[in-house]
Amino acid sequence: ADEGYALKGDRERAQARLADGLLHLQEARDQREDARMKLCEIADFWPLTAPKDGNLFAGESLLAVRSPALTALSVEECVWRGLLARKDLYAGDQTIALRKVQVIEALSGFLPNVLLGGGGINQGVAGSALRGWGGGLVATWSAFEGFRTVQDYRAARAKREAEFKLQEDRMLAVVTGVAEAYRNWKRCGLELEAAAQARRAAETDYAETELRFGEGEETLSTVLDKLAVRDAARVQYAAMDYSSALAEVILRQTMGLGIFEEIEK
């Protein structure tokens, strides 16, 4: 007590730091669980039930989601890959092709009905044989059928134009969605790097302070302060780590890629 390292105030501050640390620990666990549930929702797992692979969202295994190949891609390349990989865009292209066939089918209704006939003639006159061939071509077009064909053509063309517009909206949604997810993923990466540097600095500062305390050059209060800073930095790093992994999963989902799908260069 005379040396200032075991005062009652220091002991109470240590207890307060312990209670605060337990609170931050629970908050970190809650943040981790929230991130896991969001990731389960994106991956189509039931959020309240652990997936079959129990280690999928636990601890450092979440880092397996990250892909160095994705890091090398620009936002333009991610958008292009998203346009190629999204199954809803492929389905839209197939629907447009179907609408085109329907327009052609409606156009064929403008053609008249054509009947072609012919036959041979074999007739004998005064002991001589006469042979010949006769034929005919008849085309009919109903006015009533023509009006109905016009309506069918207009309807088919309108459906095709509407599908074109819908496909453009889908493509625009993919472009903006991938670009937004890419920016968020990059920002989370920078936040993770900053949190990692802050954690390393806090750990070094605490280690040096603890060493000086052992040599009698620092008070217990200072050590506890450094310990609190270190623990807070670790909690922040863990939160940023999960946020970064979640941002990559969202980017992959927006691009139409699986969580662990390999990205071709």
**More confidently predicted of 198 and 174:** 198
Q: What is the pLDDT of residues 41-86, one digit of tens each?
A: 665 554 445 544 444 444 444 555 667 777 777 888 887 777 777 7
Question: If pLDDT is split at 50, 70 and 90, which confidence band does 208 have?
Answer: very high
What are the sequence ranges of the domains in the chain?
7-59, 67-110+156-255
**More confidently predicted of 238 and 3:** 238
Q: Which pLDDT belongs to residue 132?
A: 52
What percent of the chain has pLDDT above 90? 8
Let me know the angle formed at the C-alpha of 133 by 129 and 135, rounded to the nearest 5 degrees: 155
**More confidently predicted of 229 and 156:** 229
Q: Which pLDDT belongs to residue 109?
A: 56
**Over the chain, what is the mean pLDDT?**
71
The answer on pLDDT for 114 being more than 60 is no
Q: Which pLDDT belongs to residue 99?
A: 64
The answer on pLDDT for 92 being more than 50 is yes
Question: Of 11-25, 51-65, 145-159, 170-184, which one has max mean pLDDT?
Answer: 170-184
- Closest Cα partner for 248 from 31, 42, 86? 42
Question: If pLDDT is split at 50, 70 and 90, which confidence band does 4 have?
Answer: very low
**Rounded CA separation 227/205 (Å):** 9
Tokens of 1: 């007590």
The answer on pLDDT for 89 being more than 50 is yes
Question: If pLDDT is split at 50, 70 and 90, which confidence band does 203 have?
Answer: very high
Average pLDDT score over residue span 136-163: 60
**More confidently predicted of 231 and 28:** 231
**More confidently predicted of 86 and 20:** 20
The answer on pLDDT for 115 being more than 70 is no
Fold of 67-110+156-255: Outer membrane efflux proteins (OEP) (1.20.1600)
Burial class (CB in 10 A: 0-12, 13-18, 19+), 247: buried
The maximal CA–CA distance of the chain, rounded, in angstroms, is 154
Contacts 24+ apart (CB under 8 A), 41-45: 42/246, 42/249, 42/250, 42/253, 43/249, 43/259
User: Distances in Å between the alpha carbon of 103 and those of 89, 159, 240?
Assistant: 21, 9, 54
**More confidently predicted of 132 and 95:** 95
Burial class (CB in 10 A: 0-12, 13-18, 19+), 44: exposed
